[in-house]
Structure 1
Amino acid sequence: MFDLHRLRLLRELKHRGTLAAVAAALSYAPSSVSQQLSLLESEVGVPLLEPVGRRVRLTEQAEILVAHTEAVLERLERAEADIAASLSDLTGTLRIASFQTAALALVPTALGLLRERHPHLRVHVTHMEPEKALPALHARDFDLVLAEEYPGNPNPRPAELEQEDLLDDPLQLALPTPAGTADGKGPTAALRSLADHPWVMEPEGTAARHWAVTLCRNAGFEPDVRFETTDLLLHLRLVEQGHAAALLPGLVGTGQSPTVTLRPLPRGQRVRRILTVVRRGRGRHPAVRACRKALRRAVGLRSDPA
């Protein structure tokens, strides 16, 4: 019988990449992690790690063990969900990661609904972009992640994660005042009219940046990106003061009237999907189900405040 704790350490190493990262995540000393993995190698009877420069990588046999460990942990997630479902009240801690606009527009309302229905449930929320939050969910740092998908840029969908649609969030071109109103121009022409204007976009490497640059290139120009930030409220402020053009989602307005001139985007590029993502087997947990229900209610209250 293999030791489950040591198997989990091996799994952590696969997802976090280094012994130091595993140690930091679990508050262990790196030497302790190394010792536990050496003991696991003795139990299994074959090498599990091989050196690659100053790092290590998993052997083929280690990958087999990790795959079985994932199955065991999924089963334990289901067992935890069944135990929680048998109780009369929700307790414990639910760990959520959310990107900025969803955190501003939806999460506070959802937290209020959860507090009203489940006062003994402790909810911990971290602001984190999906590019980092989804790997962290896989590594068991979170229970639920609010993520986004831009047109033509679907997220990777590993078998170990399950996602559920939450809402479609409209995307629009935000025109800075000095650039005019682009009245009478079609969506592509309105985009092209800003070819020589500064832009604000999210940083390179994000799905939003890839989508935005591709959109501009398809309109026939390379955007002059002078401002880079994941803070979409700063995007809005830069547009308001005429410093940059931007591509803004509806959630950034938090239900208020637009403060900048907005124009539609070309067909097929007008909506991003907002999703909730959990590990496979975790979606049955009553706390996750309650959170998803509260988020759906928050979406409904936003679209129909009355």
Structure 2
Amino acid sequence: AGAGAGVPAGPLRIAAFRSAALHLLPRALGRLTERHPGIVPEVRIVREVGRGTAGEVLDGRADLGIATLGTTSPVPPELVGGVLVEEGYALVHPAGHPAPRSLPLIDWTENCTSYTRDWWAGQEWLPPATVRAEDDGTVLSMVGTGFGMAVMPELSLVGAPPSVEITDLGPDRPTRSVGYVTTPELASSLAVRALIRELRAIAG
């Protein structure tokens, strides 16, 4: 909308998984609407499982999706996209616990790609997950109350409470690529291009 006048305006539909919607989008959308007050962002939080946020774009319910990308979850051939941030995983456990690796492992469905699962399988110290939560916020809350430990990506750990301690997993830790996907047609629209610029600026 507004393309004829060279001014982006109108609704901009965005699909994002929870941690991206909480910790990546707000600053980008703040900058976007400050520069282009005619744009009205509409954000839908979608679980990044199955077709995830890319499916929302493919089905026409979103103009742009914030998605996990990589060799095991590539950009669908009908879409275009790019990586915004590469985030590492860390061990999260109750602060001050004398033996955090002895705790039960907590996991959630949309946690990681098959690449990360392969890394998990090679870690003899990691037990099978005995608790599976609905989202990363629940996992962080359970860890903070001393219920168990977890391996979580950096975006999920933004603003972690003091009741949890974050331990680096070293140079061989798994990583996750977070990026955007859209259609080739929408990629050339003023509003989508403006949002991608702000997302890149925030990620950078």
TM-score band, normalised by the shorter chain? Answer: 0.7 to 0.9
Q: Deviations over 1:195-242 (max 9, x none)?
A: x53111112xx4617455433321136733233234212212222222
User: 2:82 maps to which residue?
Assistant: 164
* Aligned partner of residue 155 in structure 2, secondary structure: helix
Whether the aligned pair in 1 keeps the contact of 2:94 and 2:163 (CA below 8 Å) is no
Q: Which deviates the most, 221-230 or 123-132? A: 221-230
User: 2:137 maps to which residue?
Assistant: 233
Displacement after TM superposition at 1:109 (Å): 1.3
User: 1:142 maps to which residue?
Assistant: 62
In structure 2, how many angstroms separate the alpha carbons of the residues matched to 1:90 and 1:278?
A: 17
* Aligned partner of residue 57 in structure 2, secondary structure: helix
Whether the aligned pair in 2 keeps the contact of 1:171 and 1:265 (CA below 8 Å) is yes
In the alignment, does 2:110 pair up with 1:200?
no
In structure 1, how many angstroms separate the alpha carbons of the residues matched to 2:173 and 2:3?
A: 41
Q: Deviations over 1:39-94 (max 9, x none)?
A: xxxxxxxxxxxxxxxxxxxxxxxxxxxxxxxxxxxxxxxxxxxx854323212211
Displacement after TM superposition at 1:179 (Å): 5.3
Structure 2 portions without partners, runs of 5+:
none
Which structure has the larger Rg? 1
TM-score using structure 2 length? 0.84
Q: What is the one-letter code of the residue matched to 1:199?
A: L
Whether the aligned pair in 1 keeps the contact of 2:83 and 2:177 (CA below 8 Å) is yes
In structure 1, how many angstroms separate the alpha carbons of the residues matched to 2:22 and 2:61?
A: 22
In structure 2, how many angstroms separate the alpha carbons of the residues matched to 1:207 and 1:174?
A: 14
Q: Deviations over 1:169-192 (max 9, x none)?
A: 22111133575367xxxxxxxxxx
Q: Deviations over 1:9-53 (max 9, x none)?
A: xxxxxxxxxxxxxxxxxxxxxxxxxxxxxxxxxxxxxxxxxxxxx
In structure 2, how many angstroms separate the alpha carbons of the residues matched to 1:88 and 1:157?
A: 29
* Aligned partner of residue 158 in structure 1, secondary structure: coil
In the alignment, does 2:194 pair up with 1:287?
no
1:48-127 correspondence runs (5 A): 84-127=2-45
- Bigger helix fraction: 1
1:176-255 correspondence runs (5 A): 176-177=94-95, 180=98, 194=101, 197-203=103-109, 206=110, 208=112, 210-211=114-115, 213-220=117-124, 223-254=127-158
- Bigger strand fraction: 2
In structure 1, how many angstroms separate the alpha carbons of the residues matched to 2:23 and 2:88?
A: 14
Whether the aligned pair in 2 keeps the contact of 1:84 and 1:285 (CA below 8 Å) is no
- Per chain length, whose mean CA-contact separation is higher, i.e. which structure has more relative contact order (CA < 8 Å, sep 6+)? 2
Q: Which deviates the most, 130-139 or 223-232? A: 223-232
Alpha-carbon distance change, 265 to 228 in structure 1, aligned in 2, over 3 angstroms? same
TM-score using structure 1 length? 0.58
In structure 1, how many angstroms separate the alpha carbons of the residues matched to 2:113 and 2:188?
A: 34
Aligned length: 202
Whether the aligned pair in 2 keeps the contact of 1:104 and 1:254 (CA below 8 Å) is no
Whether the aligned pair in 2 keeps the contact of 1:149 and 1:207 (CA below 8 Å) is no
In structure 2, how many angstroms separate the alpha carbons of the residues matched to 1:256 and 1:176?
A: 11
In structure 2, how many angstroms separate the alpha carbons of the residues matched to 1:109 and 1:222?
A: 35
Alpha-carbon distance change, 223 to 137 in structure 1, aligned in 2, over 3 angstroms? farther
